[in-house]
Structure 1
């Protein structure tokens, strides 16, 4: 298991941090680490079937963007290796414990999804779930994924997205966007991530659209699938 050095940085509101760095919030980081540990069974009931389809037959080594507290370790083969791109320090300890429970080797990188630090064309599989909603610019992250994937490699994703205009869910997303983003570390419930994926230049893209039913109405519209380099 490898950890990179911890970085601290202060920047202007709305401005992206420098390459590979992440603004550690003293409250939200710990809240999100606790929230997603507690909510893991509920999220798994809602998203599990879609994750099992998207993450079927993962290879021995996988790069995950935003590994969090390790919700997706259950989909890796025992004895496999997870290269975890996770900048929230509050997630690191539960992620290590989860890797031990699942028998997965953990290579933990204290980096952001925009700047993984991995070599060009060095990765067969990248995965993410509920991550593209939080990054400063999804197009930059998708370009980074394309950069590190080998030709024919796959990006497997499970993400929540903006609902269609004129629907109650879309109205709730618009109404709650500011408190939602503050609580969940910049998470936007208004992004058309399917369009972002289609514009990213992948050689092939398979997308499933679906809804989940939770009390968190802005979270109900999702996509899952695979993009090939």
Structure 2
């Protein structure tokens, strides 16, 4: 007897598209770009300096990090938010960057094993469903010796005013819903240290903004 049973493949996770929220975030982050650049620019320049001509970026958004790529570079952009994609394409044309746009989640980029020399992200790991899964995916697609370069906001130390503000902000649903799942309480430094990279350099710092829960950050380079 022939067995015609077909194995069921696991369903790929999909981004929850929301027309109003998506358009708001695309407009909000384009408008806020000069403010964020003043706060985060020195740290981005430290870790995104001298990027190679081919880069993978998780959560490229509206293209805030295109300014750090060389003209004629190729950016493989993992960006599932449809509202961000048209601004990203426009920004890539303005910066002279060739865009390979992938409508995928950071947990499942669809890229081959050992296929990237450099992966970057900024203000992304706070929003993903499973940071550990994303970091495992980064390690999978990086070639040995390749680097993951990141600028992310993180949980503040216990007993600080910032930590209290983060805990208070966690309770209302509006922040998380509005900013695509953003959490101010993630120990992303701990997640990076547990991810199994061969070498990890991390700088801790604060930015000064009216958004107190957002003010604790890390930037660094993880080597596969």
TM-score, normalised with respect to structure 2: 0.93
Q: What secondary structure is seen at the aligned counterpart in 2 of 1:163? A: coil
> Is residue 2:122 matched to residue 1:129?
yes
Return the match for 1:140 from 133, 142, 148: 133
Corresponding residue of 2:70 = 77
Please list every run of 5 or more consecutive structure 1 residues that lacks an aligned counterpart in the other structure. 1-16
Kept after mapping to 2: 8 A contact 1:19/1:114: no
> Is residue 2:24 matched to residue 1:31?
yes
CA offset digits 1:34-58 (Å, max 9, x no partner): 1100000000000000000010100
> Is residue 2:192 matched to residue 1:197?
yes
Number of aligned positions between the proteins? 213
Corresponding residue of 2:99 = 106
> Is residue 2:183 matched to residue 1:188?
yes
Q: What secondary structure is seen at the aligned counterpart in 1 of 2:109? A: coil
Instruction: Name segments (4+ residues, structure 1) moved above 2 Å.
Output: none
Superposition CA RMSD, Å: 1.1
2-side partners of 1:191 and 1:65: how far apart? Answer: 18
- Which structure has the larger Rg over C-alpha atoms? 2
> Is residue 2:164 matched to residue 1:179?
no
Instruction: Indicate how the Cα distance of structure 1 residues 41 and 118 shifts in structure 2: closer, same or farther if over 3 A, else same.
Output: same
Corresponding residue of 1:14 = none
Kept after mapping to 1: 8 A contact 2:19/2:83: no
TM-score, normalised with respect to structure 1: 0.91
Corresponding residue of 2:52 = 59
